[in-house]
Structure 1
Amino acid sequence: MPLQFPFSAVVGSDTGVDSNDMALALILTTISPDVGGVLVRGEKGTAKSTMVRALAGVLPPIEVIAGDRFSTDPAEPGATSPDGPFASDAETETRPVRLVELPIGAGEDRVLGSLHLERALADGKAEYEPGLLARAHRGILYVDEVNLLHDHLVDLLLDAAAMGRSTVERDGISVAHAARFVLVGTMNPEEGELRPQLLDRFGLTVEVSAPRDPAMRVEVVRRRMAFDADPAAFVAAYQGAEAELTGRIERARKRIADVELTDAALLKIAEVCAAFDVDGMRADLVTARAAIAHAAWHDRTSVTRDDIRAAARLALPHRRRRNPFDAPGIDEDLLDQILGDDEPDPTPPDGSPDRPVETPASSSAEPVDTPAPESLAEDSSAPEVAQHPSPSEAGAGTGAGTDTTTVGTTTPYRPKLVAVPGLGTGEQGRRSRAITSAGHRIAARTANGTGGSIDLVETIRAAAPHQGSRARVGTRLTLRPDDLRVAIREGQEANLILFCVDASGSMAARTRMQQVKTAVLSLLLDAYRRRDKVGLVTFRAESGVLALPPTSSVEVAAARLEELPAGGRTPLAEGLLTAVETLRVEALRDPNRRPLLVLVTDGRATAGPDAVERSRALARQIAGTGLAALVIDCESGRFRLGLARDLAADLGAEYLPLGEVSATSLVGAVQHRFGGAA
């Protein structure tokens, strides 16, 4: 097995765990697994995965019953295992803590476990083969890019996290086993946000970024190159620090039961959570558990102000978000104001003075510049996109109507499902009907070496007529590869929603543009919930612009929408051409993801010769491709030309006036067009 980079060798954690938020969060949740795991958000290349994988190397080993595949704790009273029962004097063994990685593309069989197919076919026995949840019991379950995890796997994790057990009822077997683990997820926010239900299940969250101090960056490179050149020597150099860290974690675990959470400290935690307006009571529980773990980590016998502060900084930021466009984080000045200068319980129960407190971020620690999510649109690591010119630049040289304006949005509403018609085969999501690996079984097909869940009944049915001509041994069923059948399941897929928005002078009226942006923002929120990719094309002046290439990050999309200016001529044909080209390129990258074009326009076309005719001819060509589309008509006033209605007819799209864009009318139009339901 290749050597792992040492935990204590990660730059930042070597100056003290408390000076590194990620290291501290990981340590606290391993001291007290009831804290609920850690979510690490940050840009690529910031040692997120390196530190998580190194964590298992500093955790104290655990004792298990020898030969038990489910890591049963022999000291746990009344513990049961599918491999049991065990004698009271059953042999035990000590082994390292496991770090089990859950691939984002894993199937349910691999996660939950399933029927041992070889035993079933060879011996006729229905035997359970444990999955990843069983292997992770009493260890760490790590999900890299957790925000890309399929919804059906998210549901499995939510059930296991809530119950501490996994139950399997399938393929003629019924098994339940303990599944208590520390859930650690890492993610890059640029690639999309995390499902709210799973986000809330993470006890702690941290934001990480690459250091901006050149000296620290040099040290990162130096250590990585030294490890790559001679891993054994590098690991050996940190053995002492690793052993010291392991011993401190073990002592903290033993001490945690003796830490007192006084009524005054508990009241202070409640005041903090109430002041930050978090949802539910889980924040209070997690903050209290993390504060106790922090006190044990620092060898204290009661929870202090600094323990509460350290816990709140990690437990509250992600619970303050009401929607994916809210900035994560916490106002530390407000936190200090709420906590005050006095300790909630200044005198420990034994009357002895407490030891000095190590603050979570000492004044000598190197500052780390963490970009806020709003800055993602400007971050050099964000996808390269064509930027809109500033309002002062946009009007230059465009002729009549070149003044530009920029308005914001109003409160978004929640539209119901916008679905692409037909049956797709795209990535699992929560929008359109599709053949997926999860969902209800509708048929079976020949395996042909492809993946999928074995349909045992259909496999036996395919083999049964040929048993007379095959050399059977006793009563055993003789199978051949061409007998294997896999289930065909219908679920839901994620789609690509491409917004094509008219940003010309005819759209510059403040109320009209505000309504347009609010409608688009509402659909962006819906796309976030349904795991879609979104893109934004705008057209104004003389050209169409890809303002945002298709992405899973609706935060970036919302930011681009908010700053979208309006003014200039209306190059409708150029906007449609840009949208078509964007969809063509994306189809090459992801051919199974079906698109939906949402065109927001008043139907006017004023840029270039024969602008109207060119636009309508192009619309008819697009209609011939079968592209699903919706046209929102932004024309207003008493006398209307009806150009957008004609354009919708040419495009083969549903037509919807802007005046009817509301929580009810938009939903009704979309449902009428696509037959969807929320």
Structure 2
Amino acid sequence: MSSTPYPFAAVVGMDSLRLALLLNAVSPAVGGVLVRGEKGTAKTTTVRALSALLPEVGTYTGCRFACDPAAPDPGCPDGPHTDDAPLTRPAKMAELPVGASEDRLVGSLDIERALSDGVKAFEPGLLAAAHRGVLYVDEVNLLGDHLVDSLLDAAATGSAHIEREGVSVRHASRFLLVGTMNPEEGELRPQLLDRFGLTVEVAASREPDERVEVVRRRLAFDEDPAAFTAKWAAEEDALRERIAAARALLPAVRLGDGALRRIAAVCAGFEVDGMRADIVTARTATALAAWDGRTDVATEDVRQAALLALPHRRRRAPFDAPGLDEAKLDEILSQFEDEDDDPEPEGPEDSGPEDNGPDDNGPDGDGGGEPPRGPEQEAELPAQRETEEQPAPEPSEGADPAAPQETPAQGAQGAQEAPPVAAAAPFRTRKFDVPGLGEGAAGRRSRSRTPHGRTTGSRRPRGVLSRLHLAATVQAAAPHQRARGRTGRGLVVRRDDLREAVREGREGNLVLFVVDASGSMAARKRMSAVKGAVLSLLLDAYQRRDKIGMITFRGSGAEVALPPTSSVDAGAARLEKLPTGGRTPLAAGLLQAHEVLRVERLRDPSRRPLLVVVTDGRATGGPEPLARAARAAGLLAAEGTASIVVDCEAGPVRLGLAAELGHSLLAPVVTLDELRADSVSALVRTVRNSNNGNTSRRAA
């Protein structure tokens, strides 16, 4: 793999992404870019290519924190810089890996030296490396909460802080935050999402000619990076010059009252939260004008800025797809057509594609012509189904409720299939957790040993000490002071005395849904309520940072509708499309769950599972279906799988089959009504209580 970055000018297509990155290069105050898109769309390649275009920065020799000679940081840990010579170097791009530790991000203190020698031995982290440059986070949606919190603090204050048992270090950290993510792998926390100034949706081109050109250029680059880069050197230089010219022009750009009213009307019209959207849109519109060589912000600048700055800020719920209705945007802006308080935009007399960007063979950097449009809207959740207005056939009176019902369509598994039913409105559910103390990824569901949370004890450090337990360290060192020849007031501390804090917090779990989609669940109102309950549990999993998976069973077997993933949006989309009909192979669903959990234990042994079985407890097909389901449930219970059974049985006559399934799984059984957090019905409180009771019963 070559260390030479791919030339930015050689990127094919990606107009919105290239424009968003270039606007941030012109005005870092815009606040960064979040790039959303499927895998293999050159997100990372394009972002890394930007670093070669950024203007150089001035700093001091030997300063690890990139202090600006024009305005040195008085609190710089390497300062004061009275004897340091200034120098100029390229802007840096620091990359934050998904699995990085907090110390790698913010920096680390040598606690042992601080205690024994009284010296602040500080090793800078990525926040220091990114100061006055770019901090790039690939798969930003998969970052742990502890890293997200540190990023939020630095982005909000422009500085990084590290605190370790009374030892404190602070340094400036202002950077351009660029993140990429695949929405299929999970969404981003709203707090961090709002910190990105702009967002762009990218997708692979469906045009054969464009795809051919992408492959041709990539193969040429891989074969000879130096020759390929040299071929595009002129276009790269043109982009650098245009960025520098736009930066120089930016202070002279006028944002008139008319443009401000347009921005305010657009943000109010789309009901975005807070005022950051207005500010980012204004800064983006100003940068657009400077990029085009103009000193006045035009209506088209406001329109383009809104398409980049607002889509990710108007989500009303976690399952809403980001996007912006361009027709509504044009309608809002059309209300200001008669206003002429802003002068007509005037471009440079000699402006043109041939003067401002690369030739026709490569990306033109948006040099000349109308700027690229904003991200295309991509609905992640289906709209209300037209079939909602078409009543599904109900079981005939006196018919066997366990038997498959006649419906218009034939399922792929040989099951009678009813058209998908829309889910009922979601609600806040009661909290369920996994018993015991885990060590999984940080989250908000079950008890776990984590780097954060309340201190519950101490232990000898494993590797580099970062979480000192001061009282335990002093207690370990105190008995040896005379033998170590202590004479002064200071404590003589050795490596063996050090103790790190053991802390308890919350972890995220793997919540695996096993959903009965058979004919016995096909009554329209009933399935709508079931989908609403599962959607509510999905929302709860989203808020608690869980991974989720979904298995459905009907007809002749079970299938993995959604492999375990962090994308709760994907789970909601699959649930919306879920058809029903056919027999009820309950045992197949439970055995499929057992296999999925077995594989996931190998992939991520620290993430504990929570099995949620949504069914009425009926089982049909084959000999002794209920007995086979009980044996499958016993297999899961024998492995200690924490489970919940959501009883969907309805009607005046109840068979109580879901309760028998819960008995076999050693799991609590709750009805759809009892799932609600505000329900007054009696409810088994947690999986822990149920397992404790069943453990006693099993021992007896």
| Structure 1 length-normalised TM | 0.87
Residue in structure 2 matched with residue 392 of structure 1 by the alignment: 409
Residue in structure 2 matched with residue 82 of structure 1 by the alignment: 77
- Please identify, of 528-537 and 590-599, the stretch whose mean Cα deviation from structure 2 is larger: 528-537
Gaps spanning 5+ residues in structure 2: where? 354-365, 383-406, 691-700
Is 1:70 the counterpart of 2:65? The answer is yes
Residue in structure 2 matched with residue 591 of structure 1 by the alignment: 605
Residue in structure 1 matched with residue 503 of structure 2 by the alignment: 489
Letter in 1 for 2:540: D
Match of 1:213 among 196, 207, 212: 207
Match of 2:155 among 161, 164, 168: 161
Gaps spanning 5+ residues in structure 1: where? 14-19, 376-389
Match of 2:445 among 423, 431, 440: 431
Q: 1:345 to 1:111 in 2, by over 3 A?
A: farther
Q: 1:397 to 1:326 in 2, by over 3 A?
A: closer
**Alpha-carbon separation, structure 2, partners of 1:11 and 1:616:** 57
Residue in structure 2 matched with residue 323 of structure 1 by the alignment: 317
Query: Counterpart of 1:100 in 2: which secondary structure?
Result: strand
Q: 1:403 to 1:152 in 2, by over 3 A?
A: closer
Query: Counterpart of 1:500 in 2: which secondary structure?
Result: strand
Instruction: After TM superposition, give the deviation of residue 658 of structure 1 in Å.
Output: 2.5
Q: Residues 265 and 345 of structure 1 are in contact (CA less than 8 Å); yes or no, is this contact kept in structure 2?
A: no
Q: 1:629 to 1:451 in 2, by over 3 A?
A: farther
Q: Residues 447 and 484 of structure 1 are in contact (CA less than 8 Å); yes or no, is this contact kept in structure 2?
A: yes
Q: Deviations over 1:280-301 (max 9, x none)?
A: 2211111111000111111111
**Alpha-carbon separation, structure 2, partners of 1:643 and 1:604:** 6
Q: 1:408 to 1:441 in 2, by over 3 A?
A: same
Residue in structure 1 matched with residue 92 of structure 2 by the alignment: 98
Is 1:51 the counterpart of 2:52? The answer is no
Is 1:504 the counterpart of 2:521? The answer is no
Instruction: After TM superposition, give the deviation of residue 101 of structure 1 in Å.
Output: 1.0
Q: 1:310 to 1:367 in 2, by over 3 A?
A: closer
Match of 1:296 among 275, 290, 296: 290
Q: Residues 271 and 314 of structure 2 are in contact (CA less than 8 Å); yes or no, is this contact kept in structure 1?
A: yes
Instruction: After TM superposition, give the deviation of residue 515 of structure 1 in Å.
Output: 1.0
Query: Counterpart of 1:57 in 2: which secondary structure?
Result: helix
Instruction: After TM superposition, give the deviation of residue 364 of structure 1 in Å.
Output: 11
Instruction: After TM superposition, give the deviation of residue 538 of structure 1 in Å.
Output: 1.4
Residue in structure 1 matched with residue 23 of structure 2 by the alignment: 28
Residue in structure 1 matched with residue 571 of structure 2 by the alignment: 557
* 1:440-589 equivalent positions in 2, closer than 5 A: 440-447=454-461, 449=463, 453=467, 479=494, 485-589=499-603
**Alpha-carbon separation, structure 1, partners of 2:179 and 2:545:** 18
Query: Counterpart of 2:206 in 1: which secondary structure?
Result: coil
**Alpha-carbon separation, structure 2, partners of 1:259 and 1:364:** 18
**Alpha-carbon separation, structure 2, partners of 1:335 and 1:540:** 45
Residue in structure 1 matched with residue 5 of structure 2 by the alignment: 4
- Please identify, of 243-252 and 658-667, the stretch whose mean Cα deviation from structure 2 is larger: 658-667
Residue in structure 2 matched with residue 612 of structure 1 by the alignment: 626
Instruction: After TM superposition, give the deviation of residue 58 of structure 1 in Å.
Output: 0.5
Query: Counterpart of 1:597 in 2: which secondary structure?
Result: strand
Q: 1:623 to 1:663 in 2, by over 3 A?
A: same
Query: Counterpart of 2:255 in 1: which secondary structure?
Result: coil
Q: 1:328 to 1:234 in 2, by over 3 A?
A: same
Q: 1:497 to 1:318 in 2, by over 3 A?
A: same
Letter in 1 for 2:78: D
Instruction: After TM superposition, give the deviation of residue 57 of structure 1 in Å.
Output: 0.8
- Please identify, of 231-240 and 298-307, the stretch whose mean Cα deviation from structure 2 is larger: 231-240
Instruction: After TM superposition, give the deviation of residue 546 of structure 1 in Å.
Output: 1.7
Q: Deviations over 1:534-574 (max 9, x none)?
A: 11111212212221111111122111111112222222222
Residue in structure 2 matched with residue 237 of structure 1 by the alignment: 231
Q: 1:397 to 1:496 in 2, by over 3 A?
A: closer
Residue in structure 1 matched with residue 363 of structure 2 by the alignment: none
Structural RMSD (CA):
3.4
- Please identify, of 453-462 and 439-448, the stretch whose mean Cα deviation from structure 2 is larger: 453-462
- Please identify, of 75-84 and 615-624, the stretch whose mean Cα deviation from structure 2 is larger: 75-84
| Structure 2 length-normalised TM | 0.85
Query: Counterpart of 2:452 in 1: which secondary structure?
Result: coil
- Please identify, of 353-362 and 294-303, the stretch whose mean Cα deviation from structure 2 is larger: 353-362
Letter in 2 for 1:566: T
Match of 1:252 among 230, 246, 249: 246
Q: 1:494 to 1:263 in 2, by over 3 A?
A: same
Match of 1:665 among 679, 682, 688: 679
**Alpha-carbon separation, structure 2, partners of 1:50 and 1:552:** 24
**Alpha-carbon separation, structure 2, partners of 1:464 and 1:662:** 54
* 1:140-159 equivalent positions in 2, closer than 5 A: 140-159=134-153
Instruction: After TM superposition, give the deviation of residue 322 of structure 1 in Å.
Output: 1.6
Query: Counterpart of 2:409 in 1: which secondary structure?
Result: helix
